[in-house]
Amino acid sequence: MIGVRLERLLAAAPPQQAVVITDTAGHWAGRWITEVVRAGVMDPFENHTFQPRLVIRRGDLATAVRRIVTMIAASSPALRTRITEQPRIADMPTTHLVYPAAAVAVAAGVIPLAEGQRFEVNRAVTGAEAVDAIDRLQALAR
C-alpha cells in the first residue's frame, strides 16, 4: 500500500541501497516492494527476502512511518519541529528500541495511541489502520 499510494514521494527519494530481494518475483506487489526498499522505507531481511505475507505489527508500521515522515519533514519546518516531541506512551518506555519510531508516528498524527495511551507495539495492524495511516501520510505530504 505504501508503494502504491505514496509512489511519487518514494520516486523522489534518493536510493538508499541496492535492492536484492529473492521472494517477490511474480508477487502482485513486487514492483512496489522494490521501490519501498529502494527508498529506504522498509528493509528486506538479512537473507534477502521480504516475506510479503508476514503480518505487519504496529512497531513495523511505526518504523516505516518514521522514515516516510522524515522524508516529508525535509521540506516542512513545522513538521520537523512537531516530530521532535516525545509523547508519553504508557506501554513503552523511552528506552524501548521502537520508541523513537513510535514517538514520531504519534507526534506526526499518523498512528494514534490506543486506549490508555498505549501503543501496542506487537499488535497486528488491521487493514483499516493501514489505510488510515497512509491517508494521514498523504495529507502530510501535500
* Amino acid (1-letter code) at residue 46: E
C-beta neighbour count of 27 within 10 angstroms: 14
Convert the pLDDT of each residue in 41-54 to its tens digit.
Answer: 999 999 999 999 99
Of the candidates 89, 29, 25, the residue with the CA atom closest to the CA atom of residue 59 = 89
User: Quick one: cell of 27?
Assistant: 508477487
pTM over 0.75: yes
Residues in the chain: 142
Please, how many CA atoms are within 13 Å of residue 86, restricted to the half-sphere of its CB? 8
Q: Tell me: the pLDDT tens digits for 71-127? A: 999 999 999 999 999 999 999 999 999 999 999 999 999 999 999 999 999 999 999
Sequence ranges of the domains in the chain: 1-54, 58-141
